[in-house]
Amino acid sequence: MEKPSFRGKVVLVLGASGGIGAALVRRLLAADAQVIAAARSPERLAMLEREAGVSARLLTRPIDVRDCQQVVDLLSWVWERTGRIDLAIYCAGIEYLGPLKAISRAELEEMMATNFYGLFFLLQQLLPLMEQQQEKGTIVSVSSPMARLAFPWASAYAASKAAGDALLTGLRREYRRSGVRLLTIYPGPTATGAGQQLSPERLPRWHEHGTKMEAGRCAELLLRAVAAGQRQRVLAGSLRLLFLLERWLPSLSERICASMPLGEALT
Ligand SMILES: NC(=O)c1ccc[n+]([C@@H]2O[C@H](COP(=O)([O-])OP(=O)(O)OC[C@H]3O[C@@H](n4cnc5c(N)ncnc54)[C@H](OP(=O)(O)O)[C@@H]3O)[C@@H](O)[C@H]2O)c1
């Protein structure tokens, strides 16, 4: 299959310091895009810069997406340098899993702030800017299958991702005549740092179960879906099937999702 062309496009990746986001940055640089990589860790952003060498096509900027002012400042900083953003990918995310009693208020707030508020701040600030551009841009939310399937022990994380899905769907309808494209992409299980901050007894067995996609492969499929312009895309075949069941045979999907294996210690 032909590779999608991002040559010369200005692409902003939020949540770019590791996992899927960093893999997206590498793919986009290889495809000759001008990339702005943003995340909290200056050290990990500096590593990306070192990897890219002296490339003038990579700019990095530390940002905490939970702070609206930092999102505003990031966008003005980018605008001063590039005058447009062709594609913005919201990949910042955090997951806290475990049984209901294990999810603390601080964890819940961090998930809502990172997975939902940050996306809201980006959309609220960037949509009016993209509308002014001659060539309208695309905004992508990297969601999770959990937003639609909500396996056991992932319900709070699922809720924070589902909030982002609903926001994007509503705005896609509100902005349907604007020319700006809003896409939601669902990666399958991918080998990244997601969930690594949790103690082992907080990780359900379904989380580690089975094969995980390489982050580079996930980034490649994600960019293909962006180039195809599909408003929603599930990247893993097995989950596509489960999405279909959830829609057309919900009682079977309920049985499958409910039977996902849990851990032992906290039940
Ligand atoms: N891995 C999977 O199996 C999987 C499956 C479905 C969906 N997803 C989704 O894919 C996205 C990327 O996840 P990943 O698996 O690549 O996880 P990851 O390796 O943990 O990467 C998460 C990224 O988000 C950034 N981030 C976290 N909090 C942030 C904040 N407050 N401000 C700015 N950046 C922040 C992190 O950088 P800093 O810590 O430097 O800020 C990091 O670059 C997430 O939205 C996740 O929900 C992942």
pLDDT digits (tens, 9 = 90+) for 55-108: 779 999 999 999 999 999 999 999 999 999 999 999 999 999 999 999 999 999
Catalytic residue among 90, 157, 175, 186: 157
Mutate which of 14, 25, 67, 94 for ligand 1 pocket (most atoms within 8 A of beta carbon): 94
* Closest listed residue to residue 147, CA positions, set 186, 92, 114: 186
Q: Give the pLDDT of residue 226.
A: 96
Check if 142 has its Cβ closer than 6 Å to any atom of ligand 1.
Answer: yes
Q: Decide if pLDDT at 182 tops 50.
A: yes
Give the Cα separation of 141 and 109 in Å (integer).
Answer: 19
Query: How much is the average pLDDT of 6-25?
Result: 97
Distance (angstroms) between ligand 1 centre and the Cα of 181 equals 22
Distance (angstroms) between ligand 1 centre and the Cα of 248 equals 31
Give the Cα separation of 130 and 22 in Å (integer).
Answer: 24
Give the Cα separation of 196 and 23 in Å (integer).
Answer: 18
Tokens at 217, concatenated:
């492969």
Tokens at 141, concatenated:
């939310």
Check if 189 has its Cβ closer than 6 Å to any atom of ligand 1.
Answer: yes
* Average pLDDT along the chain: 94
% of the chain with per-residue pLDDT over 90: 86
Every domain of the chain and the residues it spans: 10-258
Least confident segment among 27-36, 45-54, 141-150, 183-192? 45-54
Residue whose CA is closest, atom 12 of ligand 1?
Answer: 91
Tokens at 113, concatenated:
């702030």
* Closest listed residue to residue 171, CA positions, set 159, 182, 163, 179: 182
Indicate which atom in ligand 1 lies nearest the CA of residue 45: 40
Query: How much is the average pLDDT of 116-121?
Result: 98
Check if 93 has its Cβ closer than 6 Å to any atom of ligand 1.
Answer: yes
Q: Give the pLDDT of residue 2.
A: 58
Question: Which SS3 state, helix, strand or coil, does residue 60 take?
Answer: strand
Q: Decide if pLDDT at 156 tops 80.
A: yes
Q: Give the pLDDT of residue 263.
A: 83
Check if 239 has its Cβ closer than 6 Å to any atom of ligand 1.
Answer: no
Q: Give the pLDDT of residue 1.
A: 55
Q: Give the pLDDT of residue 266.
A: 47
Q: Decide if pLDDT at 5 tops 60.
A: yes
Q: Give the phi and the psi of residue 53 in degrees, each rounded to 5.
A: 70, -140
Which pLDDT band, with edges at 50, 70 and 90, does 264 fall under?
A: low
Q: Give the pLDDT of residue 267.
A: 45
Distance (angstroms) between ligand 1 centre and the Cα of 200 equals 19
Q: Give the pLDDT of residue 193.
A: 86
> To which residue do tokens 């890219």 refer?
52
Residue 30, classified by CB atoms within 10 Å of its CB into exposed (0-12), middle (13-18) or buried (19+), is: exposed
Indicate which atom in ligand 1 lies nearest the CA of residue 90: 45
State how beta strands 34-39 and 58-62 pair.
parallel
Active site residue 175: no
98, 109 Cβ separation under 8 angstroms: no
Least confident segment among 63-77, 116-130, 150-164, 198-212? 198-212
Distance (angstroms) between ligand 1 centre and the Cα of 134 equals 31
Q: Give the pLDDT of residue 49.
A: 93
Query: What CA–CA distances, in Å, run from 108 to 89, 97, 102, 144, 223?
Result: 23, 10, 11, 17, 30
* Closest listed residue to residue 165, CA positions, set 85, 98, 90, 249: 90
Indicate which atom in ligand 1 lies nearest the CA of residue 191: 1
Q: Which CATH superfamily is domain 10-258 in?
A: NAD(P)-binding Rossmann-like Domain (3.40.50.720)
% of the chain with per-residue pLDDT over 70: 97
DSSP H or E segment with residue 171: helix 155-174
